[in-house]
Amino acid sequence: MASHSPAPDRDAAAVVGRLRRTFATRRTAAPDWRRGQLTALRSLLTDHSDELLTALATDLGKGPGEAYRTEIGFTVHEIDHTLARLDDWLAPRPAELPDRLLPATAQVVREPLGVVLVIAPWNYPLQLALAPLVGALAAGNCAVVKPSELAPATSAAMARLLPRYLDGDAVAVVEGAVPETTALLAERFDHIFYTGNGTVGRIVMTAAARHLTPVTLELGGKSPVVLDPGTDLAAAARRIVTGKFLNAGQTCVAPDYVLAIGDTAHAIEPHLAEAVREAYGADPAGADEYGRIVNERHFDRVTALLGSGRTVIGGAHDRATRYLAPTVLADVTPDSPVMQEEIFGPVLPIVPVPDLDAAIAFINGRDKPLALYAFTASDATKHRLLTETSSGALTFGLPVAHLTAPGLPFGGVGESGMGRYHGEYSLDTFSHTKAVLDKPLG
């Protein structure tokens, strides 16, 4: 660990130039360097977990248990998973050759891309900056990390700590908002990894196109929960509530709305209310592990959606503290305001549909979701959802869980994004997969 604290990185061209010179030395390609950086990043997270938890509480009112689990612990786990398998992942893989090319050998080799840019959002400001960085470092790249300006305490903590632990000529943190990001996007990168909304995703992709830079876009959208008759509604409600109200609903893969088939629409109401009380008590404002809305703009946006249905539970809100109670709305129609955009807040609409055909048509009539969830006891229903819909992920029985399994690719499709990461998928994203063929002469 270096002990000096270098000046903050501000000049985009100078930062990228410095990282390019480092990459040209090839030192970041060495497996030892990669392991060393990942180990150092792990130490940063464990040495400074208190400081990081304080920053996350400042930015988003995250309780320490949830913040540790979803931000620090999540990233530590991603590092451990990667370190345990990196040698195996980096080993050249022999490839088959057609008879007409024999005798010869062929291999598939992963090589680093160069200098990559990671642009992170505010909702999991630590995880969504550092989990992509794990992949970038594992793949042997130099990286610029641009944290979200809407989580300023976490952004400042990363800008302060990363240079103290990581190779400062290979990893840079550039803080800032639109002007700073725009300046970065004018530079040539070898990959851009963006997490956030689709409008900015288009800006990022347009900027990348000028340099023919590949992009990963981790975007959002409305992730439905299909509720099938015959499922255990009390258990389903508990799991929907856990996934929905995590981080006060500000999770890209949060269940956005319940698509309730037949009489489940009414039958689920008391179970959801009970599950909210069980998780957050009679007054969620006092619950240790219930977060706050990130800022007033989002608070005003989400509270404006409260009139979209009949309130089953919740609705209380306080602008001064940006508190909005976990809220369930029933009898919501598809044309209501809450169904026109990703909610990204603690409001859960129940939308009734008559049958599975209608549920599938509803899903297919809209943008492809980042995640599709379903609670069903029927294998036939599972099969139909798997084969007749498209989404970044499909999870039965436990919303949000797929995100925590590094063996599964994480990413969207269509409007919910392009590309994937976590575990070995991150290594693929941040590597070039090179074909190597060796044919003897004669």
Which residues are designated catalytic? 218
Interacting span for ligand NAD (CB under 6 A) from 102-110, 121-129, 261-269, 359-367: 121-129
Please count the residues of this chain forming the interface with ligand NAD, following the rule CB under 6 A.
28
Q: If binding is defined by CB under 6 A, does position 143 make contact with ligand NAD?
A: no
CA distance 400 to 387: 21
Interacting span for ligand NAD (CB under 6 A) from 54-62, 143-151, 162-170, 320-328: 143-151
Tell me which residues in 163-182 interact with ligand NAD (CB under 6 A): 177-178, 181-182
The residue assigned the tokens 């398998």 is: 85
Interacting span for ligand NAD (CB under 6 A) from 36-44, 218-226, 307-315, 333-341: 218-226
The residue assigned the tokens 């991603």 is: 78
Query: And the tokens for 175?
Result: 């803080």
Residue sitting closest to ligand NAD (CB): 220
Tell me which residues in 264-303 interact with ligand NAD (CB under 6 A): none
**Phi and psi dihedrals of 434, rounded to 5?**
-100, 135
Contacts of 429 (CB under 8 A, 6+ apart): 135, 139, 191, 193, 216, 419, 420, 421
**Smaller CB distance to ligand NAD: residue 301 or 432?**
301
Q: If binding is defined by CB under 6 A, does position 203 make contact with ligand NAD?
A: yes
Instruction: Identify the residue among 28, 75, 82, 195 touching ligand NAD (CB under 6 A).
Output: 195
CA distance 361 to 163: 50
Q: If binding is defined by CB under 6 A, does position 417 make contact with ligand NAD?
A: yes
Minimum distance from CB of 117 to ligand NAD (Å)? Answer: 11
Query: What is the SS3 assignment for 425?
Result: helix
Give strand ranges (E) for 85-141. Answer: 93-94, 105-112, 115-119
**Smaller CB distance to ligand NAD: residue 141 or 223?**
223
CA distance 283 to 29: 53
Interacting span for ligand NAD (CB under 6 A) from 19-27, 67-75, 85-93, 190-198: 190-198
CA distance 419 to 184: 21
CA distance 410 to 219: 11
Query: And the tokens for 312?
Result: 């089953």
Give strand ranges (E) for 228-370. Answer: 255-261, 310-313, 317-318, 323-324, 327-330, 347-353
Question: What is the widest separation between alpha-carbon atoms in the chain?
Answer: 82
Minimum distance from CB of 4 to ligand NAD (Å)? Answer: 27
Query: And the tokens for 70?
Result: 């979803």
Taken as a whole, the chain contains a residue count of 442
Instruction: Identify the residue among 38, 79, 118, 119 touching ligand NAD (CB under 6 A).
Output: 119
Q: If binding is defined by CB under 6 A, does position 200 make contact with ligand NAD?
A: yes
Minimum distance from CB of 298 to ligand NAD (Å)? Answer: 8
| Contact call for residues 393 and 372 (beta carbons, < 8 A) | yes
- What's the DSSP call for residue 214? -
Q: If binding is defined by CB under 6 A, does position 218 make contact with ligand NAD?
A: yes
**Smaller CB distance to ligand NAD: residue 148 or 389?**
148
Query: What is the SS3 assignment for 218?
Result: strand
Q: If binding is defined by CB under 6 A, does position 216 make contact with ligand NAD?
A: no
In one letter, which amino acid is 301? R
Instruction: Identify the residue among 23, 68, 122, 189 touching ligand NAD (CB under 6 A).
Output: 122
Q: If binding is defined by CB under 6 A, does position 68 make contact with ligand NAD?
A: no
Minimum distance from CB of 235 to ligand NAD (Å)? Answer: 26
**Phi and psi dihedrals of 157, rounded to 5?**
-65, -40
Instruction: Identify the residue among 22, 70, 123, 154 touching ligand NAD (CB under 6 A).
Output: 123
Distance of CA 100 to the CA centre of its chain: 46
Minimum distance from CB of 99 to ligand NAD (Å)? Answer: 45
> Which residues sit at the interface with ligand NAD, rule CB under 6 A?
119-123, 128, 146, 148-150, 177-178, 181-182, 195-197, 200, 203, 218-220, 252, 342, 344, 370, 412, 417
